[in-house]
Chains A and B, each alone.
Chain A
Amino acid sequence: MLRAKNRLGLIFFPAFDWAISPTHPEREERLLYTQDQVFEEGIADVEGIKFYNPGMATEKDVQRVHFCVPDVMSRVTESHLISAGGAIKAAEVVMEKDVDKAFAIVRPPGHHAQRVVFGDRGFCIINIEAVMLENVRQRFGNRRIAIVDTDCHHGDGTQDIYWNDKDTLYISFHQDGRTLYPGTGFLDEFGGPAAMGYNINIPLPPETGEEGFLYVLDNLVIPILEEYKPELVVNSAGQDNHYTDPITNMNFTAHGYAELNHRLNPDIAILEGGYSIEGALPYVNLGIILAMAGLDYSHVMEPDYDPKKLKQSFRITEYIKGLCEKIYERWRRKEDISRETLKGREYVTRARNVYYDTDGIMEEQVQKFKVCSHCSGLNTIHSRSDRGYEIFAVSIPRDACQACIDEGYKIYKEIPTGKYYKIYLQDRVNDVYMSQG
């Protein structure tokens, strides 16, 4: 029988009894054909590949990352906790060295879920990677982690969660926000005052193909990772850059995804989006499984694969080269940019409107970050949804200094109740979460 070069853990949980709605892309059928392919290939018989059931994330796992309005259990279904639980399981088996790598093929996805959660955005309610990573950091100590998001949509949720966290480098490949939901992910979204430069967006033009993705990986992402030296690399393995995806416009392939995964060499991969459930997912997932296990993926190919049709145009190739140079230049100058931007400032504010497309909710939000010389700095969120709920959240970061901790508790206690629908305190130093109102 075949033997995997890397011991690989697979958390394959297609949730065949859960859908957002019967005809929604995020429906029961989504991983049906992937399961057929994985079973038919006999992946479970490959020596060194081990299947695990997901666990279930707890309320506290979610509170560590999100402010759910009004609370966690009113926002999530069991499926969301299982999806995040699947991601946690993947990290756990890697951290405990039961396997070398793990891939969680779970649903629903999570990378559009931001810190505040009023509802479902881009099919996501809780950010499964972030819930996983913060669980890992609590149990196994703080780690320097890089998340490389290869979903076609900008992972605006993951960006928001790690906006001010220098220990988590977030790099997102995505179709240019001027042409696709959620409409963000530009070069100037560069990170908060304590982590400026550690949020890297790579907005790619429609019709980018295998050549473009691999160029970005080799010439931009891998050099940055080599400088950052993460202890753990996580791939948010969305699969909607595929040329058959019904809701995006890219030309990436199953072989390309496998090749990208092989070169990136992540410790953990987590499925995100990808809705070409027959033409792409069975082949892309198989390709990633084989690449992670260190097996030959050169025979993985879609039925209608035609390299001539998918060839990237010269114009796109040139555009991507220029883009990579620009982004790398900003990465190199991140400290200068940070110094210039923060000069003499005590606070930095970030005001945004956040649209929840799946649930049709509009949120107005202001985040305020303290510029602190001892830690990442206390921060607060003041937010209001168009359904009339107004909340205030205080967040004490993982590395907070005593002054920031004390200030956080002081603000939380002194806010007059009655002014807000709900007030939250997230104390990540002591892993304590509370709310009032």
Chain B
Amino acid sequence: MIVGLDMGGTHVDACLIDRGNIVEQAKTPTDRSDLFGSIWKTLDDLLLGKDFSNLERINLSTTVSTNAIIEGKTTPVGMIIESGPGLDPSFLACGQENVFISGYIDHRGREIKSVAPEEIEEAAARFRKKGIKACAVAAKFSVRNPMHETKIKEILKDEFFPVTMGHALSGKLNFPRRVFTSYLNSAVYQVFKAFCESLRQALAKKEINAPVNVLKADGGTVSLDAAEKYPVYTILSGPAASLMGSCAFNPADKDAVFLDIGGTTTDISFVADGVPLFEPLGISIGNLKTLIRSVYNVSIGLGGDSAVSVENGEIKIGPRREGFPMAMGGPVPTPSDAMIVLGLLDFGQKDQAISAMKKIGEQLGVDARAAAQAIYEKMGEIIKQKVDSLLADINSRPVYTVKELLYRKRLKPEYVSIIGGPARAMAPVLEKKFQLPCRVPKHFEVANAVGAALAKTTAEITLLADTAKGTLSAPEIGLYEKIDRNFTLEMARRKALELLQQRASMLGAEGSEMEAEITEESSFNMVRGFYTSGKNIRIRAQIKPGLLYELRGVDYA
């Protein structure tokens, strides 16, 4: 049996899955002042009267880190930023104290200017003076050579905790994001640690021994222990939970559009050959861009409760929500009122919905039913247009080789999966607009919890072998070692897969679920003067994102 739990802004949803069947569900309101309590209450309800001796795992998607960031309840962080030449680095100051230091490593990982220990001592003094305990250190090109970040941590580690190092969080190149991601990891460390401790205690008390995993924004999981070390991985996992859950009910090998239509917003995601499409670099939280891999998710201000008005003879829906639908006593007409009039939804006071539509109809010169139909069509049209423009953007993401430019895969959805309150009601109009089959999963109301339950550990590794310099780096596991000049692409591939297993085990993966794959590879001849001086081999490998297994089952198809 597997427990899946997703904590949202308003509710905590949980489900218990046994051999592919949802055997139990639970839902409680989220108490923002006691997030752990909300989770524990839901778990308690879910497991009431169950024999949990054969629980295989408990997978949680939590908003503990996310809320701390959004509500500003984070720990003060002292930042050490080694920026080298390039952009004016002043915009990177994100900590309570920010120290810019003068060392510098170049794009090939060569040390151009060493770390000046006195600069670090001075930084420590400044942090001390402000009573700062948590630090983060990020250096430009540290993913090519982690030496400076490691050295600085050595100096700080006895006095400060935690000391997050940028290279350990992601192997991707993007210094500003590395700075912000490192900052966030240290900033949410204490709050997430407290959560982990409460959870462990509560589980021990109940004698539950199942391993606990935490959902990440990319729809994969990390073990609770790894999440405690890298709490930044747990931010904004909600959309991933819903998307993974929706995937569980749908064909696993096709391109598709995934919609989550709520009261206020519609979330749009995509899968390519059944695998979620990711943001190119990472997710943004508040005004900070990070290197935390996440599913691609665009939220538009359009939902069942969006305000409907008429401007210059045209229907306008959203982006604001003024309150409930008029059928529920709300102030303005909404798409839900329209769908109630059309008989597609059935809740609230139908006569209120009719008068809402009359109001719109008067401005358009039509009757209530025609107004409702027009709103319904318009809602489908807005979603279709937005999806089309997102697809155009996705299909024109930059590529760097002639082969990719000419023959790259273009995302071409074959069906639309819809979840959320108005999902079934919206399916017919979306089917018409998209000219694609629309699918509504049977248990979509717990799709988020199902997604959490069925998520697997994901991990990535970035490997760069520079045989001219004789070094190999794999930042995610802090590896920087000497290699032979005869190191080949084939050797690099094997090495990357081996290191990926290490990384994945570190994050909590178990052998059976690890399907490793190489996602990018290149090998450049390095020529200096007129001679080949070596090879620059670059590999990225990952544990294939996906589900433990699929559930299937849709009731609109």
Contacts and interface: CB of A to CB of B under 8 A. Distances in A.
B524 A40 contact: no
B403 A45 contact: no
A280 B401 CA distance: 22
B141 interface: yes
Contact of B402 (A39, A79, A300): A79
B interface secondary structure, majority: loop
A178 to B, nearest CB: 25
A17 interface: yes
A17 B403 contact: yes
B533 to A, nearest CB: 10
B87 A290 contact: yes
B485 interface: no
Interface string A27-38: 111001101110
A296 B85 CA distance: 12
B21 interface: no
A302 B175 CA distance: 18
Interface in B149-171: none
Contacts of A282: 107
A16 B522 CA distance: 9
Contacts of B107: 33, 36-37, 40, 278, 282
Contact of B175 (A40, A78, A246): A40
Nearest to A286: B86
Nearest to A35: B400
B405 A82 contact: yes
Interface stretch (A51-59, A110-118, A429-437): A51-59
A15 interface: yes
B536 A18 contact: no
B406 interface: yes
B141 A13 contact: no
A429 B403 CA distance: 36
B201 interface: no
Interface residues of A, number: 46
B408 to A, nearest CB: 9
B404 to A, nearest CB: 8
A45 B405 contact: no
B177 interface: yes
Interface in A270-310: 278, 282-283, 286, 290, 295-296, 298-303
Interface string B83-106: 101111101000000000000101
A179 B104 CA distance: 37
A2 B177 CA distance: 12
A22 interface: yes
A373 interface: no
Contacts of A17: 401-403
Contacts of A45: 174, 176-177, 281, 289
A141 interface: no
Contacts of A52: 396, 398
B173 A40 contact: yes
Contacts of A36: 107, 141, 173
A1 B400 contact: no
A138 B340 CA distance: 55
B70 interface: no
A14 interface: yes
A41 interface: yes
B114 interface: no
Given A16-B400, A290-B87, A29 B405 contact: no
A28 B525 CA distance: 8
16 contacts: A1-B287, A2-B87, A14-B400, A16-B524, A18-B401, A22-B532, A23-B527, A27-B525, A27-B527, A28-B525, A29-B525, A53-B396, A53-B397, A53-B399, A278-B108, A299-B87
Given A37-B107, A53-B398, 12 more contacts: A16-B400, A23-B527, A29-B525, A29-B526, A37-B86, A39-B174, A42-B176, A45-B177, A51-B398, A52-B396, A53-B405, A79-B402
- Report the 7 A-B pairs with minimum CB-CB distance, sorted nearest first: A42-B176, A39-B173, A36-B107, A296-B88, A17-B401, A301-B85, A40-B173
Interface of B: 83, 85-89, 91, 104, 106-108, 112, 140-141, 172-177, 280-281, 287, 289, 396-403, 405-406, 522, 524-527, 529-532, 536
Interface of A: 1-2, 12-18, 22-23, 27-29, 32-33, 35-37, 39-42, 44-45, 51-54, 78-79, 82, 246, 278, 282-283, 286, 290, 295-296, 298-303
